[in-house]
Structure formats: C-alpha cells, structure tokens
C-alpha cells in the first residue's frame, strides 16, 4: 500500500540593500578575450552613465583582450606603467572568459626640501 506523505514548502527571504554605484564599475575592468561582454560594449555602457571618463586599452596578452580604465588614473601615472602593473597583477586572476573589476588607489608621496 502506498504511503501518503504530507509536505510543506517554506521560503525565507532576506534582502541586502546598498547604494547603486554609478557607473557600476570602479577604476578598471579587465576584459577576457572570450568574456560575454567585450571592451567596446563595456566602454559604451559607462560612457552613457559617465561620459568621457573611461578609455579602452587593447593589450597583447593570451587571456586578456583589453582594459577599460578610468582616464583620471592616467593623469597620476604614465599609461604604460599602470597597464604593465594591471597586466601583471590582473593576469594572475583573470582568465579569458571573465571580466574582473579592479579598484586602484594611487597614493603619490612627495617629499621636498627647500632652502630657508
């Protein structure tokens, strides 16, 4: 004889709210060669929300196709040095199918002595 089992369904809801970031990326996007969103699409997306603030830098790397970089960073560091740094560190975590969001904080330390 078949047994009849009563079952109950329950749902628990949790919600976490935070402020939506504008644009929804920070300083750098590292775009993989086979990522679902390409660098042009990413740049055009942020251009609508934050016009003229990001630049695409195409790179020669087996897994990384390009980086979408906040232009302001290039005013603090020469582009080639920043890109080399991002490639070295980003290349360790990125693969060709993902997009990595990176926050880059640059602190310049200046010390000068002057004649009194």
Residues near another protein, by CB under 8 A: 34-41, 97
What does the alpha-carbon distance between residue 31 and residue 96 come to, in Å, rounded to a whole number? 8
Closest distance to another protein from the beta carbon of 32 (Å): 9
Closest distance to another protein from the beta carbon of 92 (Å): 22
Q: Which is nearer to another protein, 98 or 104 (CB)?
A: 98
The residues facing 66 across adjacent strands are: 31, 58
The residues facing 102 across adjacent strands are: 28
What does the alpha-carbon distance between residue 36 and residue 89 come to, in Å, rounded to a whole number? 22
What does the alpha-carbon distance between residue 21 and residue 62 come to, in Å, rounded to a whole number? 31
Closest distance to another protein from the beta carbon of 24 (Å): 16
Q: Which is nearer to another protein, 26 or 97 (CB)?
A: 97
Q: Which is nearer to another protein, 35 or 82 (CB)?
A: 35
């Amino acid at each position: 004889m078949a047994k009849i089992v009563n079952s109950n369904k329950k749902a628990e809801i949790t919600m976490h709210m935070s402020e939506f970031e504008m644009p929804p990326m920070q300083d750098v996007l590292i775009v993989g060669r086979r990522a679902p969103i390409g660098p042009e699409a990413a740049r055009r997306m942020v251009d609508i929300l934050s016009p003229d603030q990001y630049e695409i830098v195409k790179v020669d790397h087996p897994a990384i196709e390009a980086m979408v970089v906040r232009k302001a960073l290039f005013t603090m560091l020469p582009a080639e040095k920043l890109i080399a740094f991002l490639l070295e560190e980003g290349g360790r975590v990125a693969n060709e199918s993902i997009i990595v969001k990176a926050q880059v904080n640059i602190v310049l330390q200046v010390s000068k002595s002057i004649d009194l």
